[in-house]
Amino acid sequence: MTEWLGLPPLAAAHGGAIDNMIGWIHIFMLVLFVGWGGFLLYTLVRFRQSRNPVADYRGVTSHNSTYLEVGVAVVEGVLLIGFAIPLWAARVDARPPESEALVVQVTGEQFAWNVHYPGPDRVFGRTDIKLLDLQSNPLGVDRSDPAAKDDVTTVNQLFLPVNRPIIVRLRSKDVIHSFGVPEFRVKQDAVPGLTIPIWFIPTITTADMRTRLGNPAFEYEIACAQLCGLGHARMRGFVTVQSAEEFQTWMDEAVKEQAAAADDPFR
CB of 159 to Cu ion, least distance (A): 21
- State which of positions 119-178 bind Cu ion (CB under 5 A): 177
Does position 228 bind Cu ion by CB under 5 A? yes
Closest to Cu ion by CB, 30 or 155: 155
Chain centroid, CA 110 distance in Å: 19
- Binding-site member from 224, 241, 254, 255 for Cu ion (CB under 5 A): 224
In order of 31, 44, 69, 70, 73, the CA distances from 63 in angstroms are 21, 19, 10, 11, 16
Closest to Cu ion by CB, 119 or 182: 182
In order of 79, 110, 165, 196, the CA distances from 141 in angstroms are 45, 19, 25, 20
Candidates 58-66, 71-79, 179-187, 218-226; binding stretch for Cu ion (CB under 5 A): 218-226
Does position 190 bind Cu ion by CB under 5 A? no
Binding-site size, Cu ion (CB under 5 A): 4
Closest to Cu ion by CB, 154 or 242: 154
CB of 185 to Cu ion, least distance (A): 20
- State which of positions 235-254 bind Cu ion (CB under 5 A): 235
Crossing angle of helices 15-46 and 64-77, in 10° steps, is: 170
CB atoms within 10 A of CB 206: 20
Closest to Cu ion by CB, 11 or 224: 224
Does position 116 bind Cu ion by CB under 5 A? no
Under 8 Å CB-to-CB from 11, ≥6 apart: which residues? Answer: 183, 184, 202, 203, 204, 209, 220, 241
Closest to Cu ion by CB, 141 or 224: 224
Smallest CA-to-CA distance from 170 within 248, 99, 126, 222 is with 222
Applying CB under 5 A, the residues found at the interface with Cu ion are: 177, 224, 228, 235
